Amino acid sequence: MMKLVSQAESDRDASLGQHPSLNDTRTLHNVIDIKPDPKFTEQVDKLAALVPQADRNVLAGYLRRAGSDMLAIGQYLEDERTGVVRSL
């Protein structure tokens, strides 16, 4: 079965293929290597110890949004109390 492609789709695909940043292999080695932050992991560990029933990834999301473990635990407990715990 042959897929019909509109002229707009064809033009878009052609222009994407010609975009220098998409074809420049020199930029592949410039990828940032993100390493885990031991302090962040330690803070998530503390939160998980305080709220063992909570998912660690959810707690990590609260910590990212709040910026500090004290604010994160407060926000999580408030959301848990009201039944609106936010996932990631």
> pLDDT tens for residues 45-78?
999 999 999 999 999 999 999 999 999 999 999 9
**pLDDT tier for residue 87 given thresholds of 50, 70 and 90:** confident
Helix (H/G/I), strand (E/B), else coil: 6: coil
**What pTM was estimated for this model as a whole?**
0.60
**Residue 8 pLDDT:** 58
